[in-house]
A and B are shown apart, each in its own frame.
Chain A
Amino acid sequence: MDWKGGSGITQRPLKDLLLSPTDWSAMEVVENERKRRKINSFLDSRVYNQTCLSKGRGFHFPPCHVLCLCGFQILLECPIDLSPLAAFSPIPSVAHDLRRRTDPPRESDGLIRAAPRYRTVKHLSAYDISLFDAVLVSSPAGMLGLPFLARHPKFSARIYATEATARLGRLMMEDLLAMHAEFVQFYGPEEDTFPEWMKWEELEALPLKLKEIIIGENDVEMGNLLPLYSAADVKECMQKVKAVKYCEEICHDGILMIKAVSSGLEIGASNWTIVGPRRNVTYVSSSIFESSHAMGFDYNSLLGNDIIIFSDFSSLGESVYGGKVVDMTKVSVTDVEEESVHPSLSSISSMRGCNNEEALTRCLTGNGEISEELDKLSFISSCVMNCSREGGSVLIPIGRLGIVLQLLELISMALESLNLKIPIYMISAIAEETLSFTNVVPEWLCKQRQQKLYSGEALFGHVQLKESKKLHLFPVLHSPSLFLRIGPVAHLLQRWHQRENCLLVLEEGVDADLALLPFKPVAMKVLQCSFLSGIKIQKVPPLLQILNPKLVLLPEEMKDCLPSTCSSSFSFSYYSESETLPVPSLQDDFKAHLAMDLALQLKPKRIKGETTAVARLKGRLLISNGEYMLVPSKRPGTPTDKSSLLYWGSVDPTLLVSALAEKEIIGTVSRRDDTGAIFVQVDVPSKALIEIGVHRTVICSANETLCERICESVCSVLDGI
């Protein structure tokens, strides 16, 4: 906090060693015009807007919003939509049959044989990229689309993400690049022009399901299909990322204070608080209260803001996303998660019963979420064991780091207890770096893992597995891929899909039918499992009650899920996709600090029957870290010229005459004219005339000194400051 306005100028050598402050000087690099716009707009924006660009599609494609706040345009999340992948054919493995790129673009399964394309967030293209001031990223998945944005020459926003999110996000981008490179190698470099398959005739010929995927809801989405970004784009994007710690306060442009707060979803995943002049917002992304790997949900640091943007769609289930899961699972554990969308009445009423914070906190962290998740993982592990015992192989293309880390531990333990010597492979260009990264981030993990640090043990089981050669990392290809199209998973499926003793473990949220389309007929067992990826609906009311905002912005779809009676202390607004929701201002005034030494310089004057005092204030206004501070002026204070003073009230002629008399000026009330003005005629010491109106007094004299004395008398009978 640089209240001094940077009077201590950093010397050259020190600059290298110490962080430079984020004060006004940071703004000096911004072009003037941009800044003027900013200053005016942050003052003018009494109403701020929130626009939901996309509801997303679960963990791997989080929702996306644009926020206009204090004149800043902030993009919340920038994921990549990988769903078009499903319409593309996997690259045939060598053993299978070698097709050349000269082959017809489609075959019996109808899949497109070309390098896949990807989609950015649906309504993002409607925005002028150059107008974004900041991008907040809550999870690695929330930044996979950023290189598309950041490579734009006009993109000038600062990207904020936690250190861990930035690191994992970069790894995932590199992973995607590595997998995609295989296609490029196979089909040759992508042309920028319209590829053959994107011609209308070709698209018309696609099977309905695939056509829907490619064309999307309208033609606009078609244009959003982009070739993947390059490694250079990723590098450029990462350079624009400002990596932060949990609960580190960062000052954006001297005005907004932004803070990332642990959300519990994944290592480094965060919620955000944004505090500006007269505005404070808490942005709640998909959150998990207690995690068995990442640091849990930190609600304490979210307290005290007026507005909550609730952006956790996970409780709404598949219905929101329009798609549906065709249940072709031979073994399903989806029913483990019983209480789904609608919370039972009893749970709500019990929620309302708990008023003290402690009880509310228990409501959030209790309910055994951890053990429930552990049950699911143990079930997967037992299925894996069954399969292994029968000599089958298991393929787990799951892209959630936390799940992978825990499965590694569980499966290896299970293998050990059964005395099975079966190797575990992790095949990914980033496997090594990801795993070694997870072992050096104790400050981003849950309490139990941190405890391992204190007792000098490795944070995750994989360290030991690797050392004892039970876990093998292959940097060649890759495994996690939602749509079973790119990466080594496709190759392995081509080999294994007809083996009955093999098992495939999939995440929920994938249309398994579609995903397995190129591998049909499928003989291997398929296990599809959903994992907790956000706040359960019955925990939303107690959470809001703890955070105690004035206004909550909720997705339209949650209108019916939440009991309206759950709280009267705050109000709700509902937003829906691609609609801008104006949010009224809740504060009119700015909060400022008045330095004591300046306060002591004030000369207050009582007015209005002694209940109010007023004083003129002259000082310097400093802005630092979004706070306003008034300090004494450095220039020796020139006494305010009395002629610039402000007067109000009306002149009582009789009082004026006696005030004049005190200064030995003799005047008499002479007449009153039609407008109600009263004239006071002065004869001694020389001629003058005073015309007293309701809102104006005119003093007329040709004598400067007399004029001045009359002025003083008039002022003395008026209220003024």
Chain B
Amino acid sequence: MSIESLVLGAGQEVGKSCVLVRMGGKSIMFDCGMHMGYLDRRRYPDFSLISPSGDFNSSIDCIIITHFHLDHVGALPFFTEVCGYHGPIYMTFPTKALAPMMLEDYRKLMVERRGEQEQFTSEHITECMKKVIAVDLKQIVQVDKDLQIRAYYAGHVLGAAMFYAKVGENTMVYTGDYNMTPDRHLGAAQIDRLQLDLLITESTYATTIRDSKYAREREFLKAVHKCVAGGGKVLIPTFALGRAQELCILLDDYWERMNLKIPIYFSAGLTIQANMYYKMLIGWTSQKIKDCQTTRNPFDFKHVCSFDRSLINSPGPCVLFATPGMISGGFSLEVFKQWAPSELNLVTLPGYCVAGTIGHKLMSGKPTRIDLDKDTCIDVKCQIHQLSFSPHTDAKGIMDLVEFLSPRHVILVHGEKPKMASLKGRIQSELGIPCYDPANNDTVVVSSTKTVKVDASETFIRTCLNDGFKCHNKQLEDSWTSSSGHSGSLNLISSRDEVVAEGIMVMEKSKKAKIVHENEYLHIVGTEKHELQLSCCCPVSKSSLTQAMSGSDASSASETLVSSDHRYWIHCLWLKLKKESDFNNVQEVDNCLSLNSFKSHICQVDNCPYRTGECDEGGSIMFFCCSWSPIDEKIAWRVLSIMRETSLSEVSEVHCSPTGLLI
């Protein structure tokens, strides 16, 4: 069995995330994004690779969208309404609520601002969203009889999720974008320790290790405060969802604490509407925010009011959130043109700006002039603050997640080629997990685990567990005693892994295979056990036995035994074995000597059939009838050799028996 991953986008690049995974006869498309950097057909994944005939409904079982960013959802209306896919689409509640806003914003930007021919219409977006099934976190969703999916909190933006998918025994996780450290309004990614064949993870910051977020937040607040204190205006270009709310919470909270009265504005596009969604979806934010929700919804910002165009040139300091981010046009550009020439003002930039935008130009070295087009140029005297917090995990987070999940294979997507290669090397060398970083349109095939379903009898399970329990107890002690040391938990794991299950598997034609315990096996097969037993009637010289008795620190108890008594001789033999061997569990029970299955008693039958040699000459030899089962073969022969050796030596010495009857 194998899992086949066709990377349609975000292979060795960031943009148009889209991976088609085929496993166990099912095909799942993870994300259906668009590339913001292209305007031609390269902006969408090459869907023709899925099905040359364009019959997507029979070749895809479901689409899963991880979050509302356009590079993850941007191509969805095109794929469903133009390409004609009408199967199920899954996303979380917030993604379903917020994705249409993002799509509509983008559509407007394309059509109204760039005058482009539209790829999809508003109706397309509405129709597309009707096909979406919203899911909650951790909820087990049965797509069909065989395919099961489950969402886990990813912490990247509101509603972002990692998705687990299972078909039969094949299991995988597609992370989408995630963040391993909690931010101002979102919690950190959370996932169970799943047993996975494949993990497909983003790798935006494949080599970056970031320091504390709080330091960077303080820096931002300090910069904003300094600017407004000096009477300047702060322009924060952002997209409508996500960063805007995060920064707003940050500022609102800071304003409250510092008792600042300077106005914070939201430009019209930015929307109280978006805040409405955030208010209803507060259950998807961080625990901290949820906790304070009981009294006041934290997205009811106290210090925020909406902006009017006339306020652009009104005097006095202010803070303004304006769309779009990256200053690629629209209102943020309009304000930027007015505010950039004053050195009192401040413009904050997000961590990442697409090439070609003003944001990108400002980021790459501080220019003093920006030529907007051949007629317009802007004097840039204002200060620039680059926001360095990004809702993506850093390299440590990726490594931690991979290590935590310990999947059998890892595929890296959504990153920059050289950095991905370096991370791939680390995953392979440090964690010993095969890792791939396919380019767009490449297919990676990995093997998957496979299991067979069997029945197991109660006795079998009970025996395993009872043995396991013993082991478990022991390991508990181990961990306690070594808890003063440093490797306690390691011991615990390794000893647990040694719990052995032994049984017999019975496979009957046209029946499910069944594992049974050895003891019940015969009953199930319907026969009876045939026992094998080994026997030997062994001669021992009396004198060697008495020697053994006197040689020992003969206890008073043994003196009470008379030499005619069988117990006397058995005791002698016991002492002898004690002395001459290292068997420490030889026992005397009822005139009988036993060691595991080996049993020996004094033989009084003259013509014992198990006697294969000599006879008693002159009463100096005693016969001990011995029997044992094959399992104790080795022990038995050693005991016999001890018994016999003495007999031999004594016999040959005293009686000079010429016939070596014993071999």
Question: Which residue numbers of A lie inside 8 Å of B, CB to CB?
Answer: 1-11, 13-14, 17-21, 23-24, 28, 32, 35-36, 39, 43, 244-249, 259, 277, 300-301, 433, 436, 439-443, 450, 453-454, 456, 458-459, 588-596, 599, 602, 604, 607-608, 611-621, 624, 628-630, 633-635, 641-644, 646-651, 679, 686-689, 691, 695-704, 707-708, 711, 714-715, 718-719, 721
Contacts and interface: CB of A to CB of B under 8 A. Distances in A.
Contacts of A695: 528-531
Given A8-B193, A630-B501, A607 B525 contact: yes
Given A7-B497, A450-B93, A614-B507, A590 B456 contact: yes
B612 A700 contact: yes
Nearest to B464: A621
Interface in B459-494: 461-462, 464-466, 468-469, 472-473, 476, 489-490, 493
Nearest to B283: A440
Contact of B532 (A592, A618, A628, A715): A715
Given A11-B403, A697-B530, A711-B630, 15 more contacts: A8-B404, A35-B469, A245-B136, A436-B293, A440-B279, A589-B455, A589-B458, A591-B453, A592-B461, A596-B451, A604-B507, A617-B504, A621-B461, A630-B515, A721-B521
B534 A711 contact: yes
A442 B281 contact: yes
24 contacts: A1-B195, A8-B405, A17-B190, A19-B191, A39-B465, A43-B462, A245-B136, A248-B140, A436-B297, A439-B279, A440-B297, A453-B93, A588-B458, A592-B454, A593-B451, A612-B507, A617-B502, A620-B497, A635-B500, A695-B531, A700-B534, A700-B612, A701-B612, A708-B633
B456 A19 contact: no
Nearest to B92: A443
Contacts of A594: 451-454, 505, 513, 515
B276 interface: yes
A718 B527 CA distance: 12
B610 A721 contact: no
B458 A590 contact: yes
A646 B465 CA distance: 22
A43 B465 contact: yes
Contacts of A699: 532-535
B602 to A, nearest CB: 17
Given A648-B529, A648-B530, A620 B499 contact: yes
Contacts of B584: none
A719 B455 contact: no
Nearest to B193: A21
Contacts of B508: 611-612
Contacts of A591: 453-456
B592 interface: no
Given A442-B281, A634-B497, A700 B458 contact: no
Given A440-B279, A599-B452, A700 B192 contact: no
Interface string B122-139: 000000010000101111
Interface of B: 93, 96-97, 100, 129, 134, 136-142, 169, 171, 180-181, 188-195, 273, 276-277, 279-283, 293-294, 297, 400-401, 403-406, 449-458, 461-462, 464-466, 468-469, 472-473, 476, 489-490, 493, 496-509, 513-515, 518, 521-522, 525, 527-538, 609-610, 612-613, 627, 629-631, 633, 637, 640, 644, 662-663
Contact of B529 (A11, A646, A679): A646
A14 B191 CA distance: 11
B97 A453 contact: yes
Nearest to A614: B506
A3 B195 contact: yes
Given A590-B455, A703-B663, A443 B136 contact: yes
Contact of A649 (B192, B461, B527, B533): B527
A19 B188 CA distance: 11
Contact of A440 (B192, B293, B452, B504): B293
A598 B637 CA distance: 36
Contacts of B630: 642-643, 711
A612 B509 contact: yes
A245 B135 CA distance: 11
B506 A612 contact: yes
A14 B453 contact: no
A259 B637 contact: no
Given A604-B507, A612-B508, A19 B525 contact: no
Contacts of A616: 502-505
Contacts of B294: 433, 436
A49 to B, nearest CB: 19
Contacts of B518: 646
A615 B609 CA distance: 37
Contact of A618 (B136, B490, B493, B501): B501
B572 to A, nearest CB: 21
Contacts of B400: 11, 13-14, 17
B139 A247 contact: yes
Contacts of B515: 592, 594, 617, 630
Nearest to A698: B533
A611 B453 CA distance: 20
Interface of A is mostly: mixed
Given A17-B190, A634-B497, A650 B530 contact: yes
A436 B522 CA distance: 67
Contacts of A4: 195, 406
Given A596-B450, A700-B610, A590 B637 contact: no
Nearest to A618: B502
Contacts of B140: 247-249, 259, 301
A607 B527 CA distance: 12
A208 B193 CA distance: 61
Nearest to A643: B630
Contacts of A10: 193, 404
A39 B534 contact: no
A592 B455 contact: yes
Given A594-B452, A614-B504, A245 B457 contact: no
B19 to A, nearest CB: 23
B282 A440 contact: yes
A643 B454 contact: no
- Closest 10 interchain pairs by CB? A21-B193, A643-B630, A589-B455, A621-B501, A593-B451, A8-B406, A248-B138, A596-B450, A247-B139, A592-B456
Nearest to B155: A17
B452 A5 contact: no
A234 to B, nearest CB: 15
B138 A9 contact: no
A714 B195 CA distance: 47
A436 B538 CA distance: 92
Nearest to B468: A621
Contacts of A3: 195
Given A43-B462, A454-B97, A440 B281 contact: yes
A711 B612 contact: no
A595 B451 contact: yes
Contact of B273 (A259, A456, A611, A630): A456
Contacts of A8: 193, 403-406
A704 B662 CA distance: 12
Contacts of B662: 702
A32 B506 contact: no
Nearest to A43: B462
Interface centre among B129, B141, B450, B630 (most CB of A within 10 A): B630
A247 B93 contact: no
A16 to B, nearest CB: 8
Contacts of B449: 595-596
B198 to A, nearest CB: 15
Contact of A2 (B193, B504, B507): B193
A246 B136 contact: yes
A612 B504 CA distance: 13
A619 B453 contact: no
Contact of A617 (B462, B476, B503, B631): B503
A35 B297 CA distance: 45
A268 to B, nearest CB: 12
